[in-house]
């Protein structure tokens, strides 16, 4: 039995416990000078604290990042009060991906889940924060869940313009982004789209990802869950690899099987088993191994230290 199969066997076993991380908003304020067309950023109303975001296509930063959503404090690794166990889990996950990049040139990773509520968006955000802060890599975090975008809520920024607008704009139009730190850039989804299939599978989307891979060392793409929609399975063909998030004790095994089949095992670099129970005296941690069925794909699985 491969290690991915072993991870799937834990999806409906036993109670779960969510590790929380008390956090605080960042004291820093960053502007967004970056754009896909490489043009200079000029002054913008958004450069003034409290001003309205720039309109789509305008020069200059779209918005300012002032801190994480306070309702999510305790669940973001990039905070002074983050417990070591949570930060270490994501450092180990980032280390596995970093190794894959050195060996195979991995650069673009899609993060999805079997069902809603499995934790894919916070996994995407925490992974991007870890790669950008611990490894000091230039990271672009893209919200490609165009039906129900939520990364803007995590970073507490407006969602008035983003990927959805860029996909429908002329090919030479700018994409407004938000600079979270000197190493992390966020491309929000923009206004929700009830039917984004044609946009996500368009040549424009492929061009955006290709150009992003030339400007950033990592591109992390948060997508819709696979259980109900085909968005992520189609987008998976445009990225290097996919990371599947499942929730221990909650995600049905059948949902995970459908998600694996939809993505294709060859496209899955690893499985993140979320909300693993850690009992008193035990520390839950991630370990890394290669699945016997996919020898080139390191599996990201949890275990307990005895």
The residue that leads in pLDDT, 150 or 299, is 150
pLDDT at 42 over 80: no
Here the CATH number for the domain that contains residue 97 is: 3.40.50.300
Q: In what side-by-side order are the strands of the sheet with 108-113?
A: 178-179, 184-187, 139-143, 218-222, 108-113, 241-247, 268-274
Q: Give yes or no for a contact between 288 and 300, defined as CB atoms under 8 angstroms apart.
A: yes
What's the pLDDT score for residue 9? 55
Q: What are phi and psi of 250, to 5 degrees?
A: -130, -50
**What is the number of other CB atoms lying within 10 angstroms of the CB of residue 62?**
28
Give mean pLDDT, residues 125-148: 94
**Does residue 136 sit in helix, strand or coil?**
coil
pLDDT at 150 over 90: yes
pLDDT at 285 over 70: no
Give mean pLDDT, residues 62-75: 79
Give mean pLDDT, residues 9-33: 36
What's the pLDDT score for residue 155? 94
CA quadruple 232, 223, 108, 251: dihedral positive or negative?
negative
Q: How confident is the model at residue 165 (pLDDT cuts 50, 70, 90)?
A: confident
Angle, helices 84-104/120-133, rounded to nearest 10 degrees: 70
What's the pLDDT score for residue 141? 97
**Does residue 235 sit in helix, strand or coil?**
helix
pLDDT at 67 over 60: yes
pTM for this model (two decimals)? 0.75
Report the share of the chain in percent with pLDDT over 90. 35
The residue that leads in pLDDT, 199 or 130, is 130
Residue 189, domain extent: 3-304
Give mean pLDDT, residues 231-238: 85
Give mean pLDDT, residues 57-86: 73
Alpha carbon distances (Å) from 186 to 3, 31, 132, 273: 33, 11, 12, 25
Cα 129 from Cα 84, distance rounded (Å):
15
Could you give the residue ranges of the DSSP H alpha helices within the chain? 3-8, 84-104, 120-133, 151-155, 163-168, 197-200, 203-215, 231-235, 253-263
Alpha carbon distances (Å) from 187 to 37, 160, 178, 182, 302: 14, 11, 6, 15, 30
pLDDT at 85 over 90: no
pLDDT at 254 over 80: yes
Domain total for the chain? 1
Q: Give yes or no for a contact between 222 and 250, defined as CB atoms under 8 angstroms apart.
A: no
What's the pLDDT score for residue 234? 83
Give mean pLDDT, residues 170-184: 83
pLDDT at 27 over 50: no
Cα 104 from Cα 185, distance rounded (Å):
24
Q: How confident is the model at residue 2 (pLDDT cuts 50, 70, 90)?
A: low
What's the pLDDT score for residue 278? 52
Q: Give yes or no for a contact between 166 and 140, defined as CB atoms under 8 angstroms apart.
A: no
pLDDT at 5 over 60: no
What's the pLDDT score for residue 84? 81
């Amino acid at each position: 039995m491969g290690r991915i199969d072993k991870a799937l066997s834990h999806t409906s076993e036993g109670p779960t416990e969510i590790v929380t991380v008390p956090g605080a908003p960042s004291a820093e304020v960053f502007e967004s000078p970056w754009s896909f067309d490489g043009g200079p950023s000029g002054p913008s109303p958004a450069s003034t604290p409290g001003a309205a975001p720039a309109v789509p296509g305008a020069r200059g930063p779209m918005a300012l990042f002032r801190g994480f959503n306070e309702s999510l404090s305790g669940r973001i690794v990039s905070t002074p009060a983050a417990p070591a166990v949570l930060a270490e889990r994501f450092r180990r996950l980032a280390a596995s991906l970093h190794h894959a990049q050195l060996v195979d040139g991995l650069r673009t990773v899609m993060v999805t889940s079997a069902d809603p509520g499995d934790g894919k968006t916070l996994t995407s955000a925490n992974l991007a924060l870890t790669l950008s802060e611990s490894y000091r890599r230039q990271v672009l975090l893209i919200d490609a869940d165009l039906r129900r975008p939520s990364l803007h809520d995590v970073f507490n920024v407006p969602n008035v313009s983003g990927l959805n607008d860029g996909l429908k704009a002329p090919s030479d139009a700018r994409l407004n982004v938000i600079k979270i730190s000197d190493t992390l850039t966020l491309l929000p989804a923009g206004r929700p789209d009830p039917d984004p299939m044609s946009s996500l599978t368009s040549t424009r989307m492929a061009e955006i990802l290709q150009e992003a891979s030339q400007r950033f060392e990592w591109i992390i793409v948060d997508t819709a869950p696979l259980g109900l929609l085909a968005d992520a399975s189609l987008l998976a063909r445009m990225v290097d690899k996919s990371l599947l998030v499942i929730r221990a004790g909650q995600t049905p095994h059948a949902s995970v099987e459908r998600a694996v089949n939809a993505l294709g095992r060859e496209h899955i670099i690893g499985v993140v088993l979320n909300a693993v129970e850690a009992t008193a005296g035990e520390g839950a941690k991630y370990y890394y191994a290669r699945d016997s069925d996919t020898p080139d794909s390191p599996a990201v699985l949890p275990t307990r230290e005895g």
